[in-house]
Every structure is written in C-alpha cells, then in structure tokens.
Amino acid sequence: MFLRSIELLRESNSEKSDAYPFSIPSIKSFRKLELRSNVTFFVGENGSGKSTLLESIAYQCGFNTAGGSRNDSYEVDSSESVLGPFIRLSWLPKITHGFFLRAETFYQFASHLDTIPDSLEYYGGRSLHKQSHGEAFLSVFKNRFGKRGIYLLDEPEAALSPARQLAFLRVIHDLSGSAQFIIATHSPILLGYPDAQILDFDSHPVKEVQYEDTIQYILTRRFLENRKRMLDEIFND
C-alpha cells in the first residue's frame, strides 16, 4: 500500500458553504478516510460524490484530472477538481507513478496515446481505436500498468463485459502486490474482489461496508433470484 489516508483540510471549513462540492452530503460530512487495503472501492448512489472525491485524489497525485498520468497532458472538458485543493493525502511510502481513468474520457485518452511515438508497442502493436472499448481497456492495464503505482479508476465496468470484468479482477490480482487501486464502481462483480475495502458514500460520513451488505450485491442477488417478482413490483408500483 502507498496511500494511507485522505483528509479534508481544516481550512476548508470556511469554504463549507452549500456550494459544490460541499453541497454533497458525503463531502460535507467528510473528515478523514483511512485506507487499509491495496484495493479500495467507492460505492453509492448516482450523485453521492464518488467521482468528486476520486478526482480530488487524482488532483493531489498530480495526475491529469481529465484522466491520465503525470506524463499524459491533454485537454478535455470539465477537467478540473474543485475539491482537490482542500484535501491532504498521507503516503507510506510516497509514490508518484500511477494513473486516473474515467470511463467517459477513455476515448480521448486513446486518441492521445496514438499521438505518442512508439506508443503502439505498449498495446500489442494495435492502435487502441482499432480495438474494442473493453479490449483496449484491458490492454492498457496489461501492457502499461505493470509497475509500482496507484491507479484511480472511475467506473471501469463501463468498458467491460461481465466476462472481461472477471478478467479485470485477475489483472487487479496480478498487480496487487505492487499496485494500489481506488475504484468507483456500481459493479457487483468488481466489488467481489477478495478483502477489498468498500466505502459507502450513501452513509454520511462515508463508512466501510461488507460486500454482502452493499446495495449492489443485495439488489443484483434479489433480481437474479426473483426476477419475475421484482419486475412485477416495479411495473405495478
């Protein structure tokens, strides 16, 4: 592990207006999060603040908040982190290598990589645009991220079929000796990674939950086991 905790700076109290990002309950009530695993998941409803916190971590890591590493500077819209200046990261040991990846900026990222000389050798000799979304995603991981680093991923499942989500669990497993992952996700498959720390953004302040207690697990399981009954409930409500 490298990143041990994330803390909201006390000076930001004066900023705790009702304006974004302090309008978000999980951020307003945020004090400090201790990370205890190489793999941490952020879960919570749409709009609960997962991406906001993940972006602020990327900002403090010096990663491009549009999605990229220290060496990948390219412009896309809405690439700044409003919360970033208000948090402090504690490292042991400090590392600077790593990556921030948003599902929705993956295409821009791929375009950018195509402009780097020799970049193709990282990706099995094929431009990322000539691979499918999921193939491209997995090749980035397998070919480029095999070293000590911290990887911040926002909804990686958006690019991945269920089978590839399982393959991605294997990629995490293979890298987890030398890498740290913080992943915002809605995927009940990804959340099943063993011994991960799952942080629930629907609790204020954010708190750790067990896999089987996540809404993602409970709802998916109920749906698969009682599909007809759940559909009846939804349609006849």
Binding site for ligand ATP (CB under 6 A): 20, 24, 44, 46-52, 184, 201
Contacts to Mg ion by CB under 5 A: 51
**Nearer to ligand ATP among residue 20 and residue 130 (C-beta):** 20
Nearest to 7 by CA among 32, 35, 30, 26: 32
Shortest Cβ 55–ligand ATP spacing (Å): 8
Would you give the DSSP letter of residue 83? S
Burial class (CB in 10 A: 0-12, 13-18, 19+), 144: middle
Nearest to 116 by CA among 128, 105, 104: 128
Measured distance CA(55)–CA(141) in Å, rounded: 20
Question: What residue 62 binds from ligand ATP, Mg ion, none (CB within 5 to 8 A, per partner kind)?
Answer: none
Question: What residue 69 binds from ligand ATP, Mg ion, none (CB within 5 to 8 A, per partner kind)?
Answer: none
Shortest Cβ 99–ligand ATP spacing (Å): 18
Question: What residue 46 binds from ligand ATP, Mg ion, none (CB within 5 to 8 A, per partner kind)?
Answer: ligand ATP
Shortest Cβ 37–ligand ATP spacing (Å): 20
**Nearer to ligand ATP among residue 48 and residue 176 (C-beta):** 48
**Nearer to Mg ion among residue 67 and residue 176 (C-beta):** 67
Shortest Cβ 71–ligand ATP spacing (Å): 25
Collect all residues with Cβ–Cβ distance below 8 Å to 131 and sequence separation of at least 6.
123, 139
Question: What residue 12 binds from Mg ion, ligand ATP, none (CB within 5 to 8 A, per partner kind)?
Answer: none
Nearest to 154 by CA among 124, 183, 179, 187: 183
Question: What residue 112 binds from Mg ion, ligand ATP, none (CB within 5 to 8 A, per partner kind)?
Answer: none
**Nearer to ligand ATP among residue 28 and residue 97 (C-beta):** 28
**Nearer to ligand ATP among residue 52 and residue 69 (C-beta):** 52
The bridge status of strand 179-184 relative to strand 149-154 is parallel
Shortest Cβ 80–ligand ATP spacing (Å): 8
Residue pair 200/44 in contact by the 8 Å Cβ criterion? yes
Shortest Cβ 106–ligand ATP spacing (Å): 15
Q: How far is CA 68 from CA 56, 65, 78, 91, in A?
A: 14, 7, 14, 20
Question: What residue 37 binds from ligand ATP, Mg ion, none (CB within 5 to 8 A, per partner kind)?
Answer: none
Measured distance CA(35)–CA(54) in Å, rounded: 13
55 dihedral zone (left: phi>0; alpha: psi -120 to 50; beta): alpha
**Nearer to Mg ion among residue 112 and residue 186 (C-beta):** 186
